[in-house]
């Protein structure tokens, strides 16, 4: 804009956090942004433990999985970034049947309540509905105490990364290189089609797409297989680390 005095180079080949770090360079501050943190109170962690216990989830249950179906809408109110509730239902059922998972759905507001209700209708097994139950820091405590989060590209994905909880992230019209979760041991699904990404800063994140084939191309079975191989199978690379991480989080503060 004409009111600015210094131009900062924009690129779509770096993570957004690196772009924000560039804004500091004119002041002589270089390097990556320091790790972010969020303070979670002991009472908030305890409220989550009480909620899970009340839902029948024992402290030693493995795995406990948070599933978030919601997204932020684009300009045309098209749910381009949203994986279908039926897909989430298939993954949730698979986690319960194959690994004895406790599945917790999270969300906020009428629209996400409806998405959760649809997913639960399609499931063969019961799941826990935590929609509208928690404030942001309590949701952070829930994410911290679970073993991993399955989510679209939305705020809960970044909240999980902030709490160092592994994320299974589903990307389509946005690029994970630019907006993907930070942190450790994440799983990211992205088809990288000829038309992707179609929500960018070059078009003000406005897309006229009416058929997000990029999201439809991600199959529930491939997500389940990848989760098993990475986190939950007997020979999974991060199984022991995952169990230990959640136990440490549960005993925090």
State the sign of the Cα–Cα–Cα–Cα dihedral 164, 185, 226, 99: negative
pLDDT of residue 72: 75
How many Cα atoms within 13 Å fall on the side-chain side of residue 244? 4
Angle between helix axes 109-122 and 85-99 (nearest 10 degrees) is 50
Kindly report whether the global pTM for this prediction surpasses the value 0.75.
yes
Name the residue among 4, 101, 10, 1 with its Cα closest to residue 52.
Answer: 101
Name the residue among 142, 161, 163, 144 with its Cα closest to residue 153.
Answer: 161
**What confidence tens digit (pLDDT) does each residue in 54-69 have?**
999 998 899 999 999 9
Q: Which CATH number fits domain 41-250: 3.40.50.2000, 3.40.50.300, 1.20.120.1770, 3.40.50.10440?
A: 3.40.50.2000
3-state secondary structure of 163: coil
pLDDT of residue 181: 94
pLDDT of residue 74: 56
Residues of the chain with CATH 3.40.50.2000: 41-250
pLDDT of residue 31: 82
Query: Which residues, given as ranges, of the chain have pLDDT below 50?
Result: none
DSSP state of 220: H
């Amino acid at each position: 804009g004409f009111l600015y005095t210094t131009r900062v180079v924009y690129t779509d080949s770096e993570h957004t956090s690196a772009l924000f770090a560039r804004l500091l360079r004119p002041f002589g501050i270089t390097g990556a942004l320091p790790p972010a943190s969020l303070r979670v109170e002991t009472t908030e962690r305890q409220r989550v433990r009480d909620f899970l216990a009340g839902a029948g989830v024992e402290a030693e249950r493995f795995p406990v999985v948070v599933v978030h179906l919601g997204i932020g809408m684009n300009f045309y109110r098209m749910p381009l970034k949203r994986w279908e509730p039926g897909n989430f239902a298939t993954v949730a059922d698979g986690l319960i049947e194959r690994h004895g998972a406790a599945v917790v759905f999270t969300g906020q507001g009428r629209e996400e309540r409806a998405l959760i209700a649809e997913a639960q209708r399609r499931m063969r097994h019961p799941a826990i509905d935590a929609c509208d139950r928690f404030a942001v820091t309590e949701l952070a405590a829930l994410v911290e105490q679970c073993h991993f989060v399955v989510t679209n590209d939305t705020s809960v994905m970044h909240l999980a990364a902030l709490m160092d909880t592994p994320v299974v992230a589903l990307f389509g019209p946005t690029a994970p290189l630019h907006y993907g979760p930070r942190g450790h041991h994440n799983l990211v699904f992205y088809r990288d089609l000829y038309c992707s990404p179609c929500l960018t800063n070059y078009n003000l994140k406005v897309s006229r797409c009416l058929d997000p084939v990029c999201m439809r191309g991600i199959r529930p079975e491939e997500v389940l297989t990848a989760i098993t191989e990475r986190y939950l199978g007997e020979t999974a690379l991060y199984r022991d680390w995952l169990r230990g991480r959640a136990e440490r989080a549960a005993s925090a503060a």
